[in-house]
Amino acid sequence: MKFFIDTANLEEIKTCASYGFLDGVTTNPSLMAKEGISDQRERIKAICGLTDGPVSAEVLATEAPDMIKEAKELAAIAPNVAVKLPLTMPGLTATKALADDDVAVNLTLVFTPLQALLAAKAGAAFVSPFVGRLDDIGSDGMAMVGDIISIYTEYAFETEIIVASVRSPQHVLKAALMGADICTIPFSVIGQLAAHPLTDKGLAAFLADHRKVAEKPAAH
Ligand code: G3P
């Protein structure tokens, strides 16, 4: 499973790259706003300089012709830009046109397996089911991912599934066990993946044991 980081923060992306598992980046208008960015182009260019993997940049237009125009401008920033469009009817129209022009599209704000089926049929390179936001309303986000995997496997669609709106290591674990292509993970959750109290306790004990002999005067 590929690890994308779900952020527009350059330091978080650089840190994730230093761990050796940065396969791509996803952004959205809310993540850009969190960084105080209103024109995302410079930031997308900077992010593309930090990874060769796909970098999702979301369009703000809502009608198909405007979406296509904006998406082509974003795609021209770097070869690894994937344009992110909402799963709406205009979004599907724009996806078909962009896919025909070999522009990689990530269809986002996906909350049902049927929306994901439409994304694949329109030719999206990626689909982003939002698991956390479904869990938030008492539904089962990962069950939706399981259904999408079943449908895509049954019909051999090549659209890659990006498990998004990830809130906890459990989401990452379930995504990996289900065989999702990609999980896009917030920086805070990436930190939680490595942390375990027994790792910290074990390390402290190893170091304490080492100090006991290292600080002992050498025998003559
Ligand atoms: O990239 C979009 C998605 O991951 C949003 O997550 O936490 O705002 O539901 P969240």
8 Å CB contact between 141 and 165: yes
Q: Which residue has the higher pLDDT, 72 or 215?
A: 72
Given a cut of 80, whether residue 176 has pLDDT beyond it is: yes
- pLDDT in the model for residue 217: 72
Helix (H) or strand (E) holding 135: helix 131-136
Which atom of ligand 1 lies nearest, measured to the CA of 26? Answer: 1
Name the maximum alpha-carbon separation found in the chain: 85
**Protein residue closest via CA to atom 10 of ligand 1:** 165
Residue 210 CB neighbours (<10 A)? 10
Band of residue 216 on the pLDDT scale cut at 50, 70, 90: confident
Give 171 Cα–ligand 1 centroid separation in angstroms: 13
**Integer CA distances (angstroms), 96 to 51, 68, 88, 89, 153, in order:** 27, 10, 12, 11, 21
84 noted as active-site residue = yes
8 Å CB contact between 63 and 73: no
**Integer CA distances (angstroms), 180 to 21, 129, 166, in order:** 16, 11, 13
8 Å CB contact between 84 and 59: yes
Average of per-residue pLDDT values in the chain: 97
Q: What is the pLDDT of residues 121-152, one digit of tens each?
A: 999 999 999 999 999 999 999 999 999 999 99
Give 9 Cα–ligand 1 centroid separation in angstroms: 14
- pLDDT in the model for residue 215: 84
For the chain, give the percent of residues with pLDDT over 90: 97
- pLDDT in the model for residue 8: 98
Lowest mean pLDDT among 97-106, 109-118, 151-160, 208-217: 208-217
Given a cut of 90, whether residue 218 has pLDDT beyond it is: no
107-110's contacts with Cβ under 8 Å and 24+ in sequence apart are 108/28, 108/56, 108/58, 108/84, 108/164
Q: Which residue has the tokens 């996806």?
A: 95
Burial class of residue 37 in the structure, from the number of CB atoms within 10 Å of its CB (0-12 exposed, 13-18 middle, 19+ buried): middle
Residue 133 CB less than 6 A away from ligand 1: yes
Residue 58 CB less than 6 A away from ligand 1: no
- pLDDT in the model for residue 204: 98
**Protein residue closest via CA to atom 3 of ligand 1:** 165
Residue 56 CB less than 6 A away from ligand 1: no
Which atom of ligand 1 lies nearest, measured to the CA of 136? Answer: 9
SS3 of the chain: helix, strand, coil, percent, to 5: 50, 15, 30
Instruction: Report DSSP letters for 18-42, one per residue.
Output: HHT---EEE--HHHHHHTT-SS-HH
Give 164 Cα–ligand 1 centroid separation in angstroms: 6
